[in-house]
Amino acid sequence: MKIRKSIRSIVLTLALATAGLLPLSAAEVTFGDPVPNVAAVPNGAPASGGIGYRWTVKMNSKDKAMVDGTVGAWSWDEDRNPGTARGWTHTSSWVALDLTEDSRLTILLERKAGVPTTTNASNPDGIGLLNLFPAFTIYEGWQETGGDLHNFNNRFNITWAADVEYLTHFENNGNTVAALTVKLKAGKYSVVLGGNSPSTLAEGRQGYGATFTTKAYRDPAELTMIGNRFRTSGRTYDLHGAITNPESLSRIKLTHGGRKIQARVSGNSWTAKVRKLKPGRNRVTISALSTDGSASNPIRVMIERTIVLPTIVPETPTAPRILLLGK
């Protein structure tokens, strides 16, 4: 009975999520600014509250969030002024991202059809165009105080936003999709999404869809050993060493003569038994594979098997026996 109830609960949850009544991920996505901007006086001066964030997204280290909207075709970079590193603050879409854990973050920004152009005053019910050349920049920190200006530096620090620091960017050169994966510590980040159209003529607002995905990030595992040249007279030799960052270890890869060797792990140490050693030099390669798919620099070990030849003792010649015959 409990199993049936659990199954019904899972089915109902999936149905509600599919219908849009429940979020499809644990990420907290809010349409709006964590610190709403307040109109300045006199009218026309920059509003207080720092950057006007369109979205606020909170994620853990195994999460997914999706947002969409419209941006200007030149919002990330004004191509009529090449080399200026100038984006348009108010026609871009700013995301206030809060990572609660160290994460490997992937951002995927692409064209999206059917997105309402809610910011177009002359056509509030219009739909964004499908000609976006997506690009984005990642900054560390949130700008929640002071005013904002019409332009921002998309490739370095922003002079009027002292609380955010440039980290990296993805500059699109003619593609319909922009994607980048970065390793980030827990904390607050600002992500500006926009367009990098090559056109020199003014274009309308473009529809975008952005997906944020996080995976757990830890320093990769590494192996250490004392020495890498060993000698034995037997057919088997035991190797052992230590593991740095064992919590990131997926498995240890050992090979000898094209054969795989099973390693045993206990805490922050490992052991492996190398069998079928041939006379002379035997090469063994060892590396650590981490949960993120990366491999450590290989350790190359030489095990020399010496052959002890048996000692041959020469026989001592015996004196001939003389038989005396009686008379």
Domain ranges of the chain: 2-216, 222-305
Instruction: Choose the weakest-confidence range: 56-60, 77-81, 257-261.
Output: 77-81
**Cα 3 vs. chain centroid, distance in angstroms?**
37
pLDDT at 204 over 60: yes
Q: For the chain, what is the mean pLDDT?
A: 85
If pLDDT is split at 50, 70 and 90, which confidence band does 31 have? very high
- Span 230-255, average pLDDT: 95
How many whole angstroms separate alpha carbon 89 and alpha carbon 73? 13
Q: Look at strands 55-59 and 93-99 and give their pairing.
A: parallel
Q: What would you report as the CA-atom Rg of the chain, rounded to the nearest whole angstrom?
A: 34
Record the pTM: 0.66
CA distance to 2, 56, 174, 193, 305, per residue, from 143 (Å): 50, 13, 30, 16, 66
How many whole angstroms separate alpha carbon 196 and alpha carbon 84? 13
Instruction: Choose the weakest-confidence range: 118-122, 142-146, 182-186.
Output: 118-122
CA distance to 78, 81, 93, 155, 249, per residue, from 200 (Å): 9, 10, 21, 21, 51
Point out which residues pair with 194 in neighbouring strands.
135
222-305: CATH superfamily: Immunoglobulins (2.60.40.10)
Closest of 212, 198, 201 to residue 132, by C-alpha: 198
How many whole angstroms separate alpha carbon 57 and alpha carbon 272? 46
> Is the bond leading into 82 cis (omega within 30 degrees of zero)?
no
If pLDDT is split at 50, 70 and 90, which confidence band does 14 have? very low
User: What pLDDT score was predicted for residue 124?
Assistant: 56
Answer yes or no: are the C-beta atoms of 93 and 155 closer than 8 Å.
no
> What is the CATH architecture of 2-216?
Sandwich (2.60)
Q: Sheet containing 263-266: give its strands across.
A: 222-224, 237-244, 269-274, 263-266
